[in-house]
Structure 1
Amino acid sequence: MATTDQVFALHDAVAEHLRPAMLLGAFAGLRTAEVVGLRVVDVDLEAGVVTPVQQAGAMPLKSAMSGESIPIPVELVDQLAAAMRRFPGHTVVTDGMRGPSSTWAIERAVLAARRKGVGLPEDFRFHDLRHSCASLLTSRGRT
């Protein structure tokens, strides 16, 4: 689990094209494969929701619940909009050259950021952002 400060330290420590992945994990609770599979058409910036429909490689979602629309904070909407303009492609999180990113690239970026000393536990991994999201929702009375 990560604090909001740790999430943003992680965000700032990874390559710019991967930053939306960190925010989607922390504030939408998406799994790594869901982040990689999230297409631009799955994001409704006006309504402020993301609706995953596939995982990486167009694989089916892990569960039916994974396909539910997820409301996202307006700050995340702004960050995603800016990232999609800066790194256009079919997916929200790209490889920086218009292609989709990979789960491996995201996990590797988290590991590298951890080694830079951004204040994360030694065993921290991307999936822990999902736990941070759940804790944040619980603390705000949402489940």
Structure 2
Amino acid sequence: MTTKVSTQSPPSTDEQIVEEVLAHINAARKAEGLAALQLDDDLSRASALHNKLMINGCGLSHQCSGEGDIGKRFSAQGVRWSSAGENIGFGSSGSSAAAMIKAANGLTDSMLAETPPNDGHRKNLLSKGFTRIGLSIVRDSKGVTWMTQDFVG
């Protein structure tokens, strides 16, 4: 594995938070008879860089001004993929890791509760075609937790 160098420093996500949110996602997948998603460090870096742009003024968007689409963002971090998807969200939380986990899991639960035809987030979370995930969960200076979930197969 090679180390990727970027001129942008993404916000860091506490490892405990990522592990808890990934476990929550994989529990939902298991309940549907699906294999667990594997955390991908390069994909998580793409997630973190996107989160940084959203936090720094872009707002909730799948493509910020001057940013490539998800395929270009993933490839720029060395991610090999044949299919790709992304979920983004934000919500208020306290500053503790437990509060951030609760916020991120709540966002995930809202996505899992979607119903057709407006269930794109749910489809990403429960896709048989996605095998790897990148996660970034960061609290900004205003107490808002931002989450980017990136998926590839």
Common fold, TM-score beyond 0.5? Answer: no
- Report the TM-score, using the length of structure 1 for normalisation: 0.30
Higher strand share: 2
Higher helix share: 1
